[in-house]
Amino acid sequence: MEKANWSFPVAGFILLGLSAYPRLEKIFFVLILLMYLVILLGNGVLILVTILDSRLHTPMYFFLGNLSFLDICYTTSSVPLVLDGFLTPRKTISFSACAIQMFLSFAMGATECVLLGMMAFDRYVAICNPLRYPVVMSKAAYVTMAVSSWAIGGTASVVHTSLTIQLPFCGNNVVNHLA
């Protein structure tokens, strides 16, 4: 027997999560909140230190500061919804909110990949061409590299998200095992 191919506009998704285990949800909430606060604190301190200490105004620390900010953005794109799902009985997400979260997650993931490649190039030049390093990795060069990482990540995310939201959604809109 063939399964019916339901294709309809989805208004939102129902996230089932761990609703059968309310005590477990509270424990997960506390654990995830603590990890999220450690991420915010650790990356925030790293950004602050690299800004305040003039000896760290080098390409490597500039890229590390960008990576820390990217990590804050990446976790902030999904963790608050997860935490909200643990506390509230409403376990839904609208289609537009899902698309925004998908865009942000794709953008941060793609940006991270490109930024790590730029950081690898920075270290390659520092190790293999130490005498030419100040010329190759000038401030104009490494700022342009970081900006292009963010631009490439955002552009890739626009393409992926716009193509994904055009797909037909078949079946029901209930998503199991998410909080």
Overall domain count for the chain: 1
Summarised one tens digit per residue, pLDDT across range 63-84 is: 999 999 999 999 999 899 888 8
Query: In the prediction, which pLDDT does 1 show?
Result: 45
Residue 1 domain flag: no
Report the interhelical angle of 59-76 vs 139-165 (nearest 10°): 20
* pTM confidence score: 0.84
Q: What is the DSSP secondary structure assignment for residue 18, as one 8-state letter?
A: T
Query: In the prediction, which pLDDT does 18 show?
Result: 63
Residues of the chain with pLDDT under 50: 1-2, 4, 179
CATH for 76: 1.20.1070.10
Residue 179 domain flag: no
Residue 126 domain flag: yes
- Average of per-residue pLDDT values in the chain: 88
Residue 5 domain flag: no
Q: Which residues contact 83 (CB under 8 A, 6 or more apart)?
A: 29, 32, 33, 36
- The single-letter code of the amino acid at 136 is V
Residue 60 domain flag: yes
Query: In the prediction, which pLDDT does 167 show?
Result: 83
Summarised one tens digit per residue, pLDDT across range 104-129 is: 999 999 999 999 999 999 999 999 99
For residue 152, what are the domain limits? 12-174
Residue 149 domain flag: yes
d(CA 121, CA 106): 23
